[in-house]
Amino acid sequence: MKGRSYLVSMLAGLLAGIFFVAMTPTVSQAVTKISFWHAMSGRRLPAVERIVNGFNAAHPDIKVEAQFMGKYKEVIAKTIAAVKAGKPPHIAQVYEVGFQTMYDSGAIIPVYKLFKPGEVDFGDVVWPIRDYYSVKGKLYSMPFNSSTAMLYYNKDLFRKAGLDPNRPPTTYKDLERIGKKLVESGVVPYGFSTGWPSWIFEQAHAYHNQYYANHQNGRKGRSTKVYFNKPFGVKYAKTMTRFSNEKVYIFGGREYSANKSFLAQQIAMLIQSTSSVGSIEKAAKGKFELGTTFLPRFEGYPRGNSVIGGATLWVLKGHSKKENAAVKEFLKWIIKPEVTMQWHKDTGYFPVTNSAVKRLLDEGWFSKHPNHLTAFLQILSGVKTPMSQGVRLGNFVEIRNIVQTALEKCFAGTAPPKAALDEAAKKANRVLKEYTELYK
């Protein structure tokens, strides 16, 4: 029975390990520990660590502990669970669709309340970002990683297909023509793909100045009805479904999985969050020439603006004064020009303050990295309208998921676009109804 004695010794080893861990002395309590839950993975993770390490080094009495919690939807789920358990983190990074949930939670300290008036100049925050996260002009959560969507394309593949690499598509018509050309010339099996399909769908609404839901997208009172099954939404879904049938478009999965096909040069264009610009640039280097441009438009619609995506930092209640003070220090740190500039350079997320933008301009960063500028120009050249300031829905997490499913059904051909969106709208309205009932 050699196996058994082996096992016994293994168990003994394990038990010894347990005691070892249990006996490890705890760190001295003089340091204020701040838990910061986030969803930044891949190449963004070191960028977050850079910020946190820089902060910790400059503040020996505070230790910010950054915890990667998984995807956005998992961070908010975990945060809610932790609040219920009475052990909330100090700071949680929550994506834009979680805004209403956090706002209604009763578990947060609005950022404007955390700081004394004048302590931080929120006016310095780039306006579309500030607008998005403000209620009645008051900022609720700290802008951290804001992005929007833009179009990435592969100039080399354009050349191969006999297309002008400096004339990327600007309209959906162009997109179709160019996509077809790319596919027909055999350069790629599919023309383009997108990340975050339902977010891009939301983007399209804002970009063409269309409401996504009633009560001014939920910014004037709680939304009770979604509008995404109106003619514009249906047009979008129909167009994309047609593209999909023509192989101009291929559904690339949720979130960031389409990036892979773009990098493997299986598609020539990608509509994706600007926050991928850092990693795409790096990965494309030496393989193909990358171009970026504004989102394509449908002709004949009014101009709106692409909407802010990404996430902000929410401050949770239930901590000591000393800890809240430490949280304040950290939030001040992340909007320091140097920090936000570095964050932008590492990831492609917007530098969130005007002063950081100015310094990046002065440094000549944008002229060296024009792809980092594209989205910025897109968002600052847009029109400020209620349609493009961002959508606020109760349980938006679920609604986005519902829309996602509807779009997937369209592309898979299992439901006609109009029917799929109508069904989704019905579900979304039910979700809204349930939500408003709870928060009457």
Site for other proteins in 118-157 (CB under 8 A): none
Residue 146 vs 389, nearer CB to other proteins: 146
Indicate whether 25 belongs to the interface with other proteins (CB under 8 A): no
Distance of CA 371 to the CA centre of its chain: 18
Q: Which of residues 158-197 bind other proteins (CB under 8 A)?
A: 189
Single residue of 43, 215, 336, 418 touching other proteins by CB under 8 A:
43
Q: How far, in Å, CA of 329 to CA of 34, rounded?
A: 11
Closest approach, Cβ 21 to other proteins, in A, equals 7
Closest approach, Cβ 355 to other proteins, in A, equals 28
Indicate whether 12 belongs to the interface with other proteins (CB under 8 A): no
Residue 211 vs 243, nearer CB to other proteins: 243
- β-pairing, 91-95 vs 309-316, is antiparallel
Q: How far, in Å, CA of 149 to CA of 133, rounded?
A: 18
Mask: binding to other proteins, 385-424, rule CB under 8 A, as x and -?
----------x-xx--x--xx--xx-xx-x--------x-
Q: How far, in Å, CA of 427 to CA of 75, rounded?
A: 24
Residue 42 vs 370, nearer CB to other proteins: 42
Q: What residues contact 79, with CB distance under 8 A and at least 6 apart? A: 37, 88, 89, 92, 94, 314, 316
Q: Which of residues 220-279 bind other proteins (CB under 8 A)?
A: 244, 250-257, 259-261, 263-264, 266, 276, 279
Q: How far, in Å, CA of 238 to CA of 242, rounded?
A: 6
Residue 202 vs 398, nearer CB to other proteins: 398
Indicate whether 343 belongs to the interface with other proteins (CB under 8 A): no
**Strand (E) positions, 110-265?**
134-135, 138-139, 142-147, 149-154, 192-194
Residue written as token pair 């969050």 = 273
Helix (H) or strand (E) holding 31: none
Closest approach, Cβ 266 to other proteins, in A, equals 5
Q: How far, in Å, CA of 180 to CA of 396, rounded?
A: 35
Residue 104 vs 124, nearer CB to other proteins: 104
Q: Which of residues 274-313 bind other proteins (CB under 8 A)?
A: 276, 279-280, 283
- Count of residues of this chain found to bind other proteins when the rule CB under 8 A is applied: 75
Indicate whether 53 belongs to the interface with other proteins (CB under 8 A): no
By C-alpha distance, which of 273, 100, 137 is closest to 203?
Answer: 273
* Cα–Cα distances in angstroms (integers) from residue 340 to residues 45, 353, 370, in the given order: 15, 8, 18
Q: How far, in Å, CA of 353 to CA of 137, rounded?
A: 17
Indicate whether 439 belongs to the interface with other proteins (CB under 8 A): yes
Closest approach, Cβ 107 to other proteins, in A, equals 6
Residue 226 vs 250, nearer CB to other proteins: 250
Indicate whether 8 belongs to the interface with other proteins (CB under 8 A): no
Closest approach, Cβ 438 to other proteins, in A, equals 4
Q: Which of residues 57-116 bind other proteins (CB under 8 A)?
A: 67-71, 73-74, 77-78, 80-87, 101, 105-107
Is residue 403 within 8 A of residue 212, CB to CB? The reply is no
**Residue 253 in tokens:** 């999965």
Closest approach, Cβ 258 to other proteins, in A, equals 9
